[in-house]
Amino acid sequence: MERLQTVLGALRRCCERFPDKRRGINTTYPIADIGMAAFSIFFMQSPSFLAYQRQLHDGHGRSNCETLFGLSKIPSDNHIRDMLDPADPALLHPVFATVLAALEQGGGLAAFSRPGGHVLIALDGTEYFCSDTIHCAQCSTRLRSSGKVQSLSGDFMRDCTVFVASGGWRRGGGRRGRCG
């Protein structure tokens, strides 16, 4: 539980630096609480998590949002989206080092270690363009069950940032095609 609290504390500190467009008395929820509420949805992997937490609070006087994430009030889904849309995802980059350190301390990276001190880290969200007709020499392709060939482009796949546990960041050097 201590490692989880360390990681959640780092996340809260990052969320405190999110832009806050509100002015005056329209600040019912601190911006850090809004960020933590958004994270709680993914942490518990439940699309109705916040509504369920409100029910828990009403029925029991406390909720997981209070005990795990330190929230005194739970903002609505729409309010969370409205407030966090302007936030640059790079504001969360410092949390990565904290999570990595916690994983290393607990031995969680051992199964992913590779020769040369490298660590495999799976990331999602690698495709940003897909077409049946537009393509370039750098595009990847996939054959659909219908027989159509789709072209895929994603700079992440070519210019990916790979964390090397023994020494920091290394960037791939792919070329950008006309599709992306």
For the cut 80, the answer to whether the pLDDT of residue 26 exceeds it is no
What average pLDDT does this structure show over 88-98?
86
**pLDDT tops 90 at residue 32:** yes
Q: Quote the pLDDT of residue 47.
A: 61
d(CA 25, CA 164): 46
Please state, in angstroms and rounded to a whole number, the distance separating the CA atoms of residues 170 and 66.
39
The per-residue pLDDT for 58 is 81
pLDDT tens digits, one per residue of 132-165? 777 777 777 888 888 888 877 654 443 343 443 4
Of 44-48, 51-55, 68-72, 174-178, minimum mean pLDDT range:
174-178
3-class DSSP string for the chain: CHHHHHHHHHHHHHHCCCCCCCCCCCCCCCHHHHHHHHHHHHHHCCCCHHHHHHHHHHHHCCCHHHHHHCCCCCCCHHHHHHHHCCCCHHHHHHHHHHHHHHHHHCCCCHHHEEHHHEECCCCCCCCCEEECCCCCCCCEEEECCCCCEEEEECHHHHCCEEEECCCEEEECCCCCCCCC
Query: Is residue 125 over pLDDT 70?
Result: no
Q: What does the pLDDT read at residue 38? A: 86
Query: What pLDDT is attached to residue 153?
Result: 64
